[in-house]
Amino acid sequence: MREHLYAVIMAGGVGSRLWPRSRAATPKQFLDLVGPRTMLQETAARIEPLIPLDRVLIVTAEDYAEKVGAQLPNLPEENLILEPGPRGTAPCIGLAAIILQQRDPEATMAVFPADHVIADAAGFREAIATAGQIAQDGYLVTLGITPDRPTTGYGYIQRGQPLARTGALPAFQVQRFTEKPDTATAEQFVASGEYYWNGGIFIWRVDTILDQMAGLLPALYTHLEALAQVWDSPARREALAAAWKEVPKTTIDYGVMEKAGRVAVVPVEIGWDDVGNWATLSALMESDEVGNVVRGDGQPLLLETEDTYVYTSGARLVAAAGLAGFVVVDTPDALLICPKDRAQAVRDIVAQLEAEGYNEYL
């Protein structure tokens, strides 16, 4: 099976909660937010021992083609799929699936976002390998992140009966998907031990997912079939643009996973984090003895400051006194200051910039 295992990395997001570093022109996945490599490079490197780059597809926006090429110079050109616009994860995944099916009808694909952190790369690959085996029985498989807190920020997956035939790791039928719950429900979920976070990591055979799409998202499937016919011809670009104007916007969770019959979950504890905002990013990084994390080319001057994340591009001197639990992100043209517990508000800042037409800062 292993030579039929492919990776599909979704790299089209905008990452607005990591503004002002994450911008429309260079979103989160193309930034070295956590380590010396960009998140996209890290994502490709993480899977590489299991799936080499020639079996990795990157799906992203047309505008980011050059960025992907520069960051993954060894990626075969035909492995780069450029969406004319964002239509949700279902069309994106469907397109990758039908392209893979043409190349290899036996293909199994592992889908994951380009902008997540996974501390335990070996554990991640083991889970993907296990999920790949389960997928051979016609399952749509998802990794279930074992929750360590009752957050209301993620979707939850309830496990059902254990699967008899699995790989190195245990796996379960999926009982139910629940979108972001309220706090009481989330607490109940976590206390029960039966629920996992939905981290958006999926594994399935291409024939399985395309069968499901044909049944559950027939309009999309019709477009995909037509696109497959012209994919390797000069008509590709125009056909894709036309199709993408018409396909309904849908997520794979809502469009397929919540409705499909044969769905399985492989529970994992792999140090997963979606790097949702500056506070969660900061928590992933090693801090100094007073809890400060300092990144970027500049050297800030921090007096009596603790539990604070400072990124400074070096374009100017950043000096602070008396900060506790703050985020300061200083880029050449925009500066963000907020307490860590308000890091989600960055999305509102970006929304306001958008509403007021400050496109140069987006």
Footprint (CB under 8 A) of a second copy, residues 15-44: 20
Query: Which of 352, 354, 357, 359 touches a second copy (CB under 8 A)?
Result: 352
At 103, list the tokens: 């190349």
- Tell which one of 21, 216, 316, 357 touches a second copy (CB under 8 A): 316
**Best CA proximity match to 72, nearest among 110, 92, 46, 50:** 46
Q: Does 338 bind a second copy (CB under 8 A)?
A: yes
CB nearer to a second copy: pick between 137 and 354: 354
The DSSP-derived string for 148-193 is SS--SSS-EEEEEEEPSS-SSS--EEEEEEE-S--HHHHHHHHHHT
Give the number of other Cβ atoms within 10 Å of residue 39's Cβ.
Answer: 25
Q: Which residues have a Cβ under 8 Å from the Cβ of 14 and sit 6 or more positions away?
A: 22, 24, 27, 28
| Cβ nearer to a second copy, comparing 184 with 317 | 317
Strand pairing partners for 206?
Answer: none
Residue 319 is a binding residue for a second copy (CB under 8 A): yes
**Could you tell me the smallest distance in angstroms from the CB atom of residue 38 to a second copy?**
24
Tell whether residue 45 is a contact of a second copy (CB under 8 A). Answer: no
Q: Which two tokens stand for residue 42?
A: 């890290």
Quick check: 301 binds a second copy (CB under 8 A)? yes
- Which of the stretches 132-140, 165-173, 209-217, 345-353 binds a second copy when contact is defined by CB under 8 A? 345-353
CA distances (Å), origin 331, targets 22, 75, 125, 334, 337: 10, 30, 35, 5, 12
CB of 282 to a second copy, least distance (A): 15
Query: Binding residues for a second copy, how many (CB under 8 A)?
Result: 34
Asked whether position 281 contacts a second copy by CB under 8 A, the answer is no
- Which residues, in sequence order, are CB contacts of 19 under 8 Å at separation 6+? 334, 336, 346, 349, 350
* Segment interacting with a second copy, rule: CB under 8 A, options 36-44, 123-131, 137-145, 318-326: 318-326
Q: Is 314 in the site for a second copy (CB under 8 A)?
A: no
Instruction: Locate the DSSP E strands across 221-279.
Output: 263-268, 272-273
Q: Does 349 bind a second copy (CB under 8 A)?
A: yes
DSSP sequence for 73-102: TTS-GGGEEEESS---HHHHHHHHHHHHHH
Q: What is the closest distance, in whole angstroms, from the C-beta atom of residue 311 to a second copy in the complex?
A: 13
Centre a 10 Å sphere on the Cβ of residue 3 and count the other Cβ atoms it contains: 8
CB count, 10 Å around CB of 301? 11
Bridge-based pairing state of the strands 56-61 and 195-205: unpaired
Q: What Cα–Cα distance (Å) separates residue 304 from each residue in 103, 205, 244, 286?
A: 59, 55, 53, 19
Residue 9 CB, nearest distance to a second copy (Å)? 31
The answer to whether residue 362 forms part of the interface with a second copy (CB under 8 A) is no
Gap between the Cα atoms of 353 and 362, Å rounded: 7
Closer residue to a second copy (CB): 153 or 248: 153
Q: 267, 307, 339, 357: which one contacts a second copy (CB under 8 A)?
A: 339
| Residue 7 or 353 having the CB closest to a second copy | 353
Question: Interaction with a second copy in 120-179: which residues (CB under 8 A)?
Answer: none
Q: Looking at 94-102, 226-234, 284-292, 325-333, which segment touches a second copy (CB under 8 A)?
A: 325-333
Closest CB 312 distance from a second copy, rounded Å: 9
Residue owning tokens 């007073």: 290
Pick the closer one to a second copy by CB: 218 or 322: 322
| Paired strand residues for 173 | 264
Considering only 5-13, 80-88, 157-165, 315-323, which stretch makes contact with a second copy by CB under 8 A?
315-323
Q: Should residue 358 be labelled a site residue for a second copy when binding is judged by CB under 8 A?
A: yes
- Binding residues (CB under 8 A) for a second copy: these are 20, 301, 303-304, 316-323, 326, 328, 330-339, 341-342, 345-346, 348-349, 352-353, 358, 361
